[in-house]
Structure 1
């Protein structure tokens, strides 16, 4: 399995985990303040990551100064992305907000070309643009499209671009679980500080179940999000972020009763097609590079 193929699988797994976490959090924040939900979920996710790191014998606290700076930047970007995304999620349908986030592959790929000097073939770029057109069909921007919550969603896109690109500058010796732990700690601390100023809401059994569910999927989302940015070419892996849209449409319909209309389904089809085409191009390229059998 090539680095690009592993990166694509990590990305798909990350999107599934994060969307399941988002579904639980959207249901939870209908009954509980947003930052209290972030705080409670973060405690469980952080403890789970610490336990995972201990079992994997991957916990390292004495990191080089350069890696500590990168982790700090990444953690701050994670914090900003979480705050803006979940605030918008409270007020928007899951599929709509997820559609806005699908601008990420184009943004990350272009940023990688500028800052990391990655080469982007015209076919890959065309596939990503087609996927982005699919996103525009879904969100249908217009005079009423970019309300404050949509703008928060776009701001979260910018934070995630910083988060993902900063990960590429980490040394390979830094365990992925360490990076995920610091991200979880930063977000949990933010949730706790805001909750301290807003007051505490009693937690019911149903809410506790949603917190545990969200933390479980967030744990895997954090891990995959770190791992995916450390292998393969961003220009190849980025389109697989579009799979989050499929999860969001399905879960939005099943859990919240928001069934997508025809244009949304057409846009989603373009998004999926772009990802499949990119994977096919990578396999074709790899096949051509294999030595002929004697």
Structure 2
């Protein structure tokens, strides 16, 4: 497929819109249903979309690295649980901003786990990004114990920790991608997460009301739709070219939070968000290749998709 920046950007912006809707529905259902039950339906109803993507090339489940897929799914499940817990208790825009710390943790984790030596530019970006986290924390009074009683302090730490867990998941995907196709990784993720969340259902089951049941179906559908859109986006244009459009998710989260939950972002969140997003954009610019690379194919998409989905 030819490099089509406009098509890729529009598809990616659309994908972030569905992810914002997904988080809004998880926020709605998270107040009455267990997180594992929500995640079960998310994976169950997104599986047809994963199969749709896989069918475009070849559906391959055979693997010699089942343990790696299992570990990746366990860590990914923890990340999804943290998303549901944090998005249920935090304003949508604030949870979205804190999720953008994943590239920062990716740099930090690459030192002990991959034995990499980050460049000076990366260290500067990490410092800028975490200064944004401090600004958000100061705006909520988290550093001097005056946080609003409506939003528990621990919810912010879970949202921040989810960035670290998401980064760890991304690193696992990169390792698996050395020998596994992205469709194989996505299929094993959907299957294993569905099975793992189905096992405790008899012990935690809460019968959803009709409105919650509709939301659960939509959660899975929106997760699947967003994954299809992301796949098409990164197959249409270079990751380094359209990557910045992934940050449009903050705009959607702010709009949906304002219209649906009467959440108005504060000045500290806006400034902190700009610092965090700015650091991510700096990393994308720093990683931009000097020579024009070939167009990204579906087999190279899983890592980028994970960063948006978690």
> What TM-score bracket applies, with the shorter chain setting the length?
0.7 to 0.9
Cα 1:152/1:21, change in 2 over 3 Å: same
Q: Output the TM-score relative to the length of structure 1.
A: 0.75
Contact 1:99–1:138 (CA under 8 A) maintained in structure 2? no
- 5 Å-filtered alignment, 1:37-186, equals 37-53=38-54, 55-63=55-63, 65=64, 67-140=65-138, 141-144=142-145, 147-172=153-178, 174-186=180-192
Aligned to 1:191: 197
Contact 2:16–2:226 (CA under 8 A) maintained in structure 1? yes
Q: Give a deviation string over 1:112-168, Cα, whole Å, max 9, x none.
A: 244334453322331332132123212333143573333433443332222111111
Structure 1 regions of 5+ residues with no counterpart? Answer: 289-294
Query: Alignment RMSD, CA only?
Result: 3.9
* Stretch moving more, 142-151 or 265-274: 142-151
Aligned to 2:22: 21
Contact 1:96–1:139 (CA under 8 A) maintained in structure 2? no
Q: Output the TM-score relative to the length of structure 2.
A: 0.72
Aligned to 2:274: 269
Task: State the 1:239 CA deviation.
Answer: 8.4
Q: Give a deviation string over 1:89-130, Cα, whole Å, max 9, x none.
A: 322222333333333221111212443344533223313321
Total equivalences in the alignment: 277
Structure 2 CA distance, aligned partners of 1:107 and 1:14?
23
Cα 1:117/1:259, change in 2 over 3 Å: same
Q: Give a deviation string over 1:41-95, Cα, whole Å, max 9, x none.
A: 2211123212432x214211221x2x32221211110111112321233222223
Structure 2 regions of 5+ residues with no counterpart? Answer: 293-310
Contact 1:91–1:149 (CA under 8 A) maintained in structure 2? yes
Contact 2:103–2:167 (CA under 8 A) maintained in structure 1? no
